[in-house]
Amino acid sequence: MKLNKRSRAPQLEKGQLWKMEDKHLEIMEVGKTLTHYRLFSTQKRVPISLGGIATVQDYLRNNRAELIPKASLVIAKAK
């Protein structure tokens, strides 16, 4: 019997931007057990939310989020 590999929980760090199908999640701060984040699609002003690190990691994994490299962020903001 072949076992499926479980995907690892994504490591959260301040300043990360995660892309999902129709949304983005930006990590604002990471503490010992909680993280501050913004979840947005096209809005300009979005409130900062607070959630457990494990909860945010599960959300990113379940929604197949991809980490956007920092180099592409600099290029996108310059345009």
Identify the pLDDT of residue 29.
96
**Cα 65 from chain centroid?**
7
Domain extents in the chain: 17-78
Q: Does the pLDDT at position 21 exceed 50?
A: yes
The predicted pLDDT at position 78 comes to: 54
HEC per residue, 21-65:
CCCEEEEEEECCCEEEEEEECCCCCCCCEEEEHHHHHHHHHHCCC
- pTM equals 0.76
